[in-house]
A and B are shown apart, each in its own frame.
Chain A
Amino acid sequence: MFFKRQLPIAIAATIGFLTLFGWFVDEPTIKSFVDDDATQWFDILASFAMFLGALNLLKMQAMKVMKKQKGWQYAALAIAGFAFSFTAGFILLGSYNVEITEFDDPAKVATVLASEINLDEKSTENVLVAVPEGDPYIIETPYFTKNGADNVVEQINAAGGTAHMRATDWGAHISTRGSLFNWMFRFIFTPLSATMFALLAFFVASASYRAFKIRNFEATLLLISGIIIMLGRVPIGGSISAWFILYIVVLALSAGVNTWFKNKTYTLASVVGGVLIVTIAGFIMGWPVDQPAIFYLPVLQDWIYNNPNVAGARAIMIGIGLGIFATSIRYILGIEKSYIGE
Chain B
Amino acid sequence: MEKFLDFIVRAGSLDRRIIFVVIALVVILPLFFPLGLPIRPTNSSQDVYNAVEELEAGDKALVSFEYGPSTKPEIHPMAIALLRHLFEKDVKVYITCLWPDGQFMAMEALEQVADNQYNKVYGEDYVLLGYRPGAEAVIKGLVSNIRKVFTVDSQGNFLDDIPMMVGVNQVKDFDYLFSASAGYPGTVEWVQYAADPTGVTMSTGTTSIQVNEVMPYVQSGQIVGILGGMPGAAEYESLIGQAGIGTSGMDAQSVAHLVIVGFIIFGNISFFVERRRSKKY
> CB within 8 Å of B: which residues of A?
35-36, 38-40, 42-43, 46-47, 49-50, 169, 171-172, 174-175, 177, 182, 185-186, 189-191, 193-194, 196-198, 201-202, 204-206, 208-210, 212-214, 223, 226-227, 230-231, 233-239, 298, 302, 305-306, 309-310, 312-314, 317
Chief secondary structure at chain B's binding surface: helix
On whether A310 and B215 interact (CB within 8 A), knowing A40-B148, A231-B258, A236-B257, the answer reads yes
Complexed CA–CA distance, A237 and B38 (Å): 10
Residue of A nearest to B267 (CB): A209
Tell yes or no: B278 within 8 A of A by CB.
Answer: no
8 A-B residue pairs with CB within 8 Å: A169-B156, A206-B20, A208-B267, A214-B271, A231-B257, A236-B258, A238-B40, A298-B42
The interface stretch among B57-65, B79-87, B101-109 is B101-109
**Which residue from A201, A213, A302, A309 sits with its C-beta under 8 Å from B42?**
A302
Size band of the interface chain B makes with A = 35 or more
Are the C-beta atoms of B156 and A209 separated by less than 8 Å?
A: no
A35 vs chain B, min Cβ distance (A): 4
Complexed CA–CA distance, A210 and B272 (Å): 13
CB contacts (< 8 Å) of B138 on chain A: these are 39, 43
Complexed CA–CA distance, A313 and B99 (Å): 25
CB contacts (< 8 Å) of B103 on chain A: these are 174-175
Are the C-beta atoms of B14 and A235 separated by less than 8 Å?
A: no
Residue picked from B71, B130, B132, B156, most chain A C-beta under 10 Å: B156
Residue of B nearest to A199 (CB): B20
Are the C-beta atoms of A313 and B212 separated by less than 8 Å?
A: yes
A-B contact count (CB 8 A): 175
B117 vs chain A, min Cβ distance (A): 17
Are the C-beta atoms of B264 and A193 separated by less than 8 Å?
A: no
Tell yes or no: B222 within 8 A of A by CB.
Answer: no
A10 vs chain B, min Cβ distance (A): 22
Residue picked from A38, A204, A210, most chain B C-beta under 10 Å: A210
Residue of B nearest to A173 (CB): B156
Chief secondary structure at chain A's binding surface: helix
Are the C-beta atoms of A214 and B154 separated by less than 8 Å?
A: no
A310 vs chain B, min Cβ distance (A): 5
Are the C-beta atoms of A202 and B104 separated by less than 8 Å?
A: no
Complexed CA–CA distance, A237 and B258 (Å): 9
Are the C-beta atoms of A235 and B234 separated by less than 8 Å?
A: yes
**Which residue from A49, A177, A201 sits with its C-beta under 8 Å from B27?**
A201
Tell yes or no: B73 within 8 A of A by CB.
Answer: yes
Are the C-beta atoms of A43 and B215 separated by less than 8 Å?
A: no
**Which residue from B69, B250, B260 sits with its C-beta under 8 Å from A189?**
B69
Are the C-beta atoms of A310 and B71 separated by less than 8 Å?
A: no
Complexed CA–CA distance, A46 and B99 (Å): 13
Complexed CA–CA distance, A206 and B15 (Å): 9
On whether A196 and B219 interact (CB within 8 A), knowing A36-B145, A43-B137, A234-B257, the answer reads no
B159 vs chain A, min Cβ distance (A): 14
Return the CB mask of B248-274 against A: 1 if under 8 Å, else 0.
001101111111110110111001100
Residue of A nearest to B263 (CB): A209
Are the C-beta atoms of B133 and A46 separated by less than 8 Å?
A: yes
Complexed CA–CA distance, A305 and B211 (Å): 8
